[in-house]
A and B are shown apart, each in its own frame.
Chain A
């Protein structure tokens, strides 16, 4: 069920004098079951890229393949693609519209034309996955807190049971607690369901702890595409494009420069703690 982008470019407003080239020659493959982080400075083209993944935008140049088939072929059903590639937009709580939480989550599966039973079962499961218990079912989505609204919206996409889940800056505008909750919830549902997850963010800190591969975007192109430790090795280049490595990376780099035998490539706080303790004990 892999998604594959081949030399994709996209230009906004190509027929006006304000054309913006948002993507340049992107090649990317998202294999089954991967947890992928897509990182880039604001305006680097992340949102544009993810809208290509489920066929909401058609590439100006290049091709996109789902399961080996070109998604812009005439006889390819893009509605079916959208149920397989679930896209959660930035500020997804702005799309809520139903009278209660449960009905809103039902909207997606209802559009798939599933039987009533199945719709309800899927909605329930999706709400469980994002940690919203039955007591929220009958509440108006507009009366919930910001973080809760966002979870309802994510459940709305999960209820379609996609094989690839794409989240565009799911932590934008949340406080640190809400952010950790959402990210924890996403990691949890990744473990539970085993689907591929693409997590878009402009903060390394956010994704470092969770993903197994990082794609760094800069001005519409892919700058790095590697495992987190390898990407964070390029501290200088990351800073040049307006990104920062996680704080632990900076601490470890400084320690190493001052003669401590620490492993610079640790990316999470836990790994950092271990390598610092090890260095202190041996030294």
Chain B
């Protein structure tokens, strides 16, 4: 069900990557994504894949677990690939009816598939090794210099609360669904209209419970004197260690290599 989507899910275990400073992981993921769009030749993709494979090894998250989460995105990838395959101008290789497959089209489609796969695995690796709270914490720290422009702390707080509520609401959905199924509800069969109607007994209680929880949380925060980001300190401030600087070094080296490969090859 919904739980099977790996993207955005934390995988609890003990590894170098799990212990790494969350800012490094966030910046690293951005660098990796940028590198995917910088490079254009196949050797660079091999480099990117090797880099990613190394990170996966270090993360100790089973590869099987990541691939399981990919299944739901395969359709999107096929869609993008097919579009590229047919709509790229170039020398035709095969043509039938009004459709033409060109050599450039094949290259673009392949490239797109490889890029997307690496991109999705790369970003899910980050969420698999970083808890949502660490992630928003990293965003807050990295955006701090922009504090005079946007309410950084408030945005980060909203994000972490929203992320925290996803599993809770998912559990709640599961519970209410079961409770209505115990009353004979049928969420699967029937046509579209019937299916949409059958969602009412699920959605109404879900909304009510979400509002109730939001209310309780706001009350609890206020009762503990929460008043926004001004003057607020952290119990465990983020501090870079030697290993984090080493990771930064590796990351920049990787990006440099990608750029060099693009220029030279």
Chain A interface residues (CB < 8 Å from chain B): 16-18, 51, 54, 56, 79, 82-83, 86-89, 92, 94-97, 107-108, 111-112, 142, 156-157, 160
Q: Taking A17-B12, A107-B201, A160-B184 as contacts, is the C-beta distance between A94 and B178 under 8 angstroms?
A: no
Given contacts A56-B182, A107-B183, 15 further A-B pairs with CB under 8 A are A16-B65, A17-B13, A56-B181, A79-B184, A89-B179, A89-B182, A94-B175, A94-B205, A94-B208, A95-B179, A95-B180, A95-B205, A97-B205, A111-B183, A157-B183
In the complex the two chains form, is B204's CB within 8 Å of A97's CB?
Answer: yes
- Across the two chains, which residue of chain B brings its CB closest to A90? B175
> Interface residue count for B (Cβ, 8 Å)?
22
Most B Cβ at <10 Å: residue of A16, A79, A83, A86: A16
Check: B223 CB closer than 8 A to any chain A CB: no
Interchain residue pairs with CB less than 8 A apart (30): A17-B11, A17-B62, A54-B182, A79-B186, A82-B183, A86-B182, A87-B182, A89-B178, A89-B179, A94-B175, A94-B179, A94-B208, A94-B209, A95-B179, A95-B180, A95-B201, A95-B205, A96-B205, A97-B200, A97-B204, A97-B205, A107-B183, A107-B201, A108-B183, A108-B184, A112-B184, A142-B208, A157-B183, A160-B183, A160-B184
CA A12 – CA B185 in complex, angstroms?
Answer: 24
Residues of chain A within 8 A (CB-CB) of B11 are 17
Smallest CB–CB gap between B169 and chain A, Å?
Answer: 13
From A17, A88, A108, A111, contact of B186 by CB (8 A): A111
The reply to whether A157 and B209 contact each other, CB–CB distance below 8 Å, is no
B184-216 contact mask (Cβ, 8 Å, vs A): 1 or 0: 111000000000000011001100110000000
Measured between beta carbons, the chain B residues less than 8 angstroms from A89 are: 175, 178-179, 182
Question: Are A92's CB and B184's CB within 8 A?
Answer: no
User: Inside 8 A of B62's CB, which chain A residues have their CB?
Assistant: 17
> In the complex, what distance in Å separates the CA atom of A51 from the CA atom of B177?
12
| Chain A: CB-nearest residue to B13 | A17
- B176 contacts partner chain A, Cβ-Cβ < 8 Å: yes
A97 vs B206: C-alpha distance in the bound complex, in angstroms? 9
| Complex-state Cα separation, A107 to B178, whole angstroms | 14
Knowing A97-B204, A107-B201, say if A18 contacts B182 (CB, 8 Å).
no
B214 to chain A, nearest CB (A): 15
B205 contacts across to A, CB distance below 8 A:
94-97
The list of the 5 closest CB pairs from A to B, nearest first, reads A111-B184, A97-B204, A95-B179, A108-B183, A87-B182
B208 to chain A minimum Cβ distance, whole angstroms, is 7
Which residues of B sit under 8 angstroms from A156, Cβ to Cβ?
A: 183
Indicate if the CB atoms of B184 and A94 lie closer than 8 Å: no
Q: Which residues of A contact B13 (CB under 8 A)?
A: 17
Residues of B1-44 at the interface with A, using a CB-CB cut-off of 8 Å, are 11-13
A142 to B11, CA, bound (A): 39
Contact present for B201 and A97 (CB under 8 Å): yes
Inter-chain contact A95/B176, CB cutoff 8 Å: yes
Residues of chain B in range 85-136 having any CB-CB distance to chain A below 8 Å: none
A160, B205: Cα distance in complex, Å: 20
Residues in A with CB closer than 8 Å to B12 are 17-18
* Also in contact, A157 and B176, with CB within 8 A (given A97-B205, A107-B201, A142-B208): no
Chain A contacts for B65, CB-based, 8 A: 16
Cβ contacts under 8 Å, A79 to chain B: 184, 186
**Contact between chains at A157 and B182 (CB < 8 Å):** yes
Let me know if A92 and B179 touch, CB within 8 A.
Answer: yes
Docked-complex contact A82 and B179, CB < 8 angstroms:
no
B64 to nearest A CB, angstroms? 9
Give every chain B residue within 8 A of A111 (Cβ-Cβ): 183-186
Cα distance, A160 to B62, chains bound together (Å): 46
Contact residues of B between 126 and 177, Cβ < 8 Å to A: 175-176
